[in-house]
Amino acid sequence: MTSPFVRRRRLATELRTLREARGLTAGRLADLIHHSRMKISRLENAKVRPEVAEVIKILDVLDVTDDKWKEIVRIACDAAERGWWDNYGDAMGSRQRLYADIESGAKTIREYNQTVMPGILQTTQFITALVDLTEAEGALDFVPEKMTEARLHRQRAIFRSSGPTYEVILDETVIRRLTVPAEVMAAQLRHIVEVLSTQPRLTVRVLPVDARIGGRTLPRTTFTLYMFPDPDDPPMAVVDTINTDIVHTKPGEVERYERSYEHLSRAALSPDDTVALLTEVAKRTTS
C-alpha cells in the first residue's frame, strides 16, 4: 500500500499551493467552507488524517477541476487509509508507528545506525533485552508485548516478496558494545548472518571504528533514507533523536543526508567482509 503518512504530507503541500495560487488566506478558506482556521492549518501541515468529503469541498471552493481534481482526491483517499499499525494505537510506541507507516510504501530504505541494532533485524530475545533497558530508565510509553508483536510484523512486511530494498550501514560499536547479555548479542549477530543468506534485497555493511572517512564529518545521529515508487512522492530522510524523529522532505535537506550515506558507504566493509566480521564477533562474544 502507499504510505498514508507520505500521502498526507503530499496532500498538505498540494492544498496549500492551490490555496495560495488563488490568493486566499487559510482563514478566508476556512470561512468559505465553514470550518475553523485551525482545521485548515492542521490539514495543510499534515497533522490530521483527512476526510475525503472535506477535501472535495475545498477543491470545489478553489475551482479545481478535471485531472487535477482527480489527482488530489486520489491522494486524499490514500492519505485517509489505515494500516495494520493503526490496530495497535500507541501501544506499539508512537515512533515505531511512524516507521511502520513510512515503510509500508517505500521502494528503497537506506539506514545508517550508530547506536543500536536496527529494529528490522532484531530477534525477539534482543527486543526483550532492550525493553528491560528502557524500563530501567523510567516508565514505558508502549506495551512491551504489543511493541514486540508490531516489530515482528514490520520485519515480515519488509521481507515480503514485494517488499522494499533495504540497506543498512552499522557502526562497528553497535556489534561490539555489550548493552545486552553476551549470549543475546551473539545470537543476534548470528541471526543477521542467517537473514542475509535468505533475503536477496537486504544488504548490511559494517563501518569499522578505524575506517578512513576523511573529507566529511561523521553524522551526529542515526538516520534513514526512503524513496517511493511514485516519483511525485519526494524522497524522505528521517533523523533519530533522543526524544523524537525529525522528518525531512525538502530536497536540499534530504540530499545532505544522501551524500553523507554515500560517503559512509564508500568507507564501510564489503557485504562479504561484513558477514565474516559478524561471524567472528559472535564467536568471540561468548568465548
Last residue of a domain, one of 61, 80, 99: 80
148 with 252, same domain?
yes
Question: Which residues constitute the domain of residue 108?
Answer: 88-285
User: Could you tell me if 71 and 93 lie in one domain?
Assistant: no
The predicted-structure confidence for 188-212, as pLDDT tens digits, reads as follows 999 999 999 999 999 999 999 999 8
Q: Taking 90 as the threshold, does the pLDDT of residue 42 lie above it?
A: yes
- The residue type of 184 is V
Q: Is the pLDDT of residue 242 over 90?
A: no
- pLDDT tens by residue, 118-144: 999 999 999 999 999 998 888 899 999
pLDDT at 216: 77
pTM for the full model?
A: 0.93
Mean pLDDT of 165-172: 98
Q: Are residues 248 and 277 in the same domain?
A: yes
User: Which of 23-27, 52-56, 137-141, 266-270 comes out lowest in average pLDDT?
Assistant: 137-141
CA distances 133 to 130, 148, 159, 181, 240, Å, are: 5, 14, 27, 11, 18
Mean predicted confidence (pLDDT) in 148-176: 97
- Give dist(CA 281, CA 287) in Å, integer: 10
How many C-alpha atoms does 120 have within 13 Å on its Cβ side? 28
Please state the domain count of the chain.
2
- Per-residue cell: 18: 492551490
Identify whether the C-beta of residue 2 lies closer than 8 Å to the C-beta of residue 105: yes
> Is pLDDT of 103 > 90?
yes
pLDDT digits (tens, 9 = 90+) for 72-91: 999 999 999 999 999 999 99
Is 199:271 a contact under the CB 8 Å cutoff? Answer: no
66 plus 99 within the same structural domain: no
3-class SS letters over 169-218:
EEEHHHHHCCCCCHHHHHHHHHHHHHHHHHCCCEEEEEECCCCCCCCCCC
Query: Are both 37 and 62 inside the same structural domain?
Result: yes
Quick: pLDDT tens for 172-193.
999 999 999 999 999 999 999 9
Query: Is 260 found in the same domain as 159?
Result: yes
Average pLDDT score over the chain: 95
Phi, psi (deg, nearest 5) at residue 169: -110, 120
Q: CATH number of the domain that 50 lies in? A: 1.10.260.40
